[in-house]
Amino acid sequence: MADFNSSLPVRSEADGTDARVQVKIVDGVTPSTIATVDSDKNVHIEAHGNAPAGTDEVLRLSELGAVTPDGLYDATNNTKPGNLGLITSTRVASPGDTTQTQRLTSITDTGGTVRALDISLHDQLGNAYTETNPLFVTSAPNPGTEINDYNTAAAVAAAGTSNHDYTVTAGKTLSLSQVWYSASGKMKAEVQIETGVATGIFNTKFVGFNSTAEPSNAIPIKENILVAAGVRVRVIRTNKDNQAEDLYTTISGHEN
């Protein structure tokens, strides 16, 4: 009869006795490295992964156990920051996990430097703004520096002219909003904008005339003209009366 190789069975007594069988989870290369059990009777196992350079790192969790990806770039500690896509809910009375199905969209500008998130404004009922459902706004004063540049030319001869120039402050942009002109007799006011800094070339934008009945008048510029720093606004004042007279003008706007 052939011999039969068999091992003896292991019998364990109840916990707390010397006969208890213990099982240890150890490292295959270094048996002295043993997995431990924490106070909650859970085996303490850390999740590890490789950093961009290949080094071994422990994954981090929040106090509630949530994985906490770091989205802030750091040249030393976080060269591959975490990225999360923004997901929104469909419009329902009670948004929940199952309604989070909408991905937002964006577009890159023609220069390739701005990545703008698409938006669509609606009122509190979710209706789009239209001509019949307008968005109401309130006008507020321009936050820039007020400019009311007054100038007068004395005894301008009949048919003579006088220029009133205003040069926009360095580092500022003028929003030209009005030109006021006045004379005791008849006059013409021609508003011009220089084509560039000190070019001496001007383009006419508006022309106005007063009258004996209305010796003072204004040219309101509803669509404000933006004038760059160092560029001149010119008002050519022409005496349209038959004798010399004083001519008055004020250039108004805001500089930002």
Given a contact cutoff of 8 angstroms between Cβ atoms, the answer to whether 208 and 181 are in contact is yes
Measured distance CA(148)–CA(178) in Å, rounded: 9
Residue ranges of the chain with per-residue pLDDT less than 70: 1, 7-21
Residue 109: both structure tokens together:
């500008």
Counting every residue, how long is the chain? Answer: 256
- Give pLDDT, residue 13: 62
Residue 238: both structure tokens together:
């022409």
Spatial CA neighbour of 176 closest among 142, 132, 130: 142
- Give pLDDT, residue 178: 98
- Give pLDDT, residue 60: 82
Measured distance CA(236)–CA(24) in Å, rounded: 98
- Give pLDDT, residue 12: 64
SS (H, E, C) the chain: CCCCCCCCCCCCCCCCCCCCCCCCCECCCCCCCECCECCCCCECCCCEEECCCCCEEECCECCCCCECCCCCCECCCECCCCCCCCEECCCCCCCCHHHCCEECCEEECCCCCCEEECCCCECCCCCECCCCCCCCCCCCCCCCEEEEEEEEEEEECCCCEEEEEEECCCCCCEEEEEEEEEECCCEEEEEEEECCCCCCCEEEEEEEECCCCCCEEEEEEEEEEEECCCCEEEEEEEECCCCCEEEEEEEEEEEC
pTM for the full model?
A: 0.53
Domains of the chain listed by start with CATH number: 145-255 (2.60.120.230)
β-pair partners for 133: none
Distance of CA 123 to the CA centre of its chain: 22
- Give pLDDT, residue 240: 97
Residue 48: both structure tokens together:
């590890």
Cβ of 174: how many Cβ atoms within 10 Å? Answer: 28
- Give pLDDT, residue 45: 75
- Give pLDDT, residue 83: 76
